[in-house]
Amino acid sequence: MKRYMLDTDTSSYIIKNRPAQVAERFRTLKMEQLCISVITYAELLYGVECSSSERVNRPIIENFVAHLDVLDWDKDAADHYSRVRTQLERNGTPIGGMDMQIGSHALSQGIILVTNNTQHFERIIGLQLETWV
């Protein structure tokens, strides 16, 4: 069974139910096929903290993650991150730090990363990507 890690943008699309095709694709999968990185969870919480409606937004995020497997950052993810970062920097094609961590986390787990930001993530050699937009 394929497993999918949702990046931060994809998670936001699902939470907001737009674009509609992202939420529709999300609903076609079994919950055990879906996960997010704890890094994505941190980014979602950061968005809540920065919002003017924290009281409204925090329960929405908590409800979203309550139904997903939130994968902890582990030694294997850190090992992949060190190699990915080195490779991207040597190639002169770095991406954002959080994106490197999320991509490395998916790579370490052998999971397909669902993102609309393929331009950045495709730089990570061996990372399986899918876009739902």
- Which 3 state secondary structure label does DSSP give 73? coil
Question: How many CB atoms lie under 10 A from the CB of residue 51?
Answer: 12
Query: CA distances (Å), 81 to each of 35, 78, 115, 126, in order?
Result: 19, 5, 18, 13
First to last CA, the chain: 22
Residue 33 per-residue DSSP state? G
CATH class of 4-130: alpha beta
- Which 3 state secondary structure label does DSSP give 5? strand
* pLDDT tens by residue, the chain, 133 residues: 899 999 999 999 999 999 999 999 999 999 999 999 999 999 999 999 999 999 999 999 999 999 999 999 999 999 999 999 999 999 999 999 999 999 999 999 999 999 999 999 999 999 999 999 9
Question: How many CB atoms lie under 10 A from the CB of residue 80?
Answer: 22
Omega of the bond prior to 94 within 30 degrees of 0, cis?
no
| Maximum Cα–Cα distance across the chain | 43
d(CA 76, CA 108): 6
Residue whose entry in the numeric block shows the structure tokens 């990570």 = 124
Question: How many CB atoms lie under 10 A from the CB of residue 119?
Answer: 9
Q: In this structure, what are the phi and psi dihedrals at residue 125, rounded to the nearest 5 degrees?
A: -65, 130
**Which pTM was predicted?**
0.96
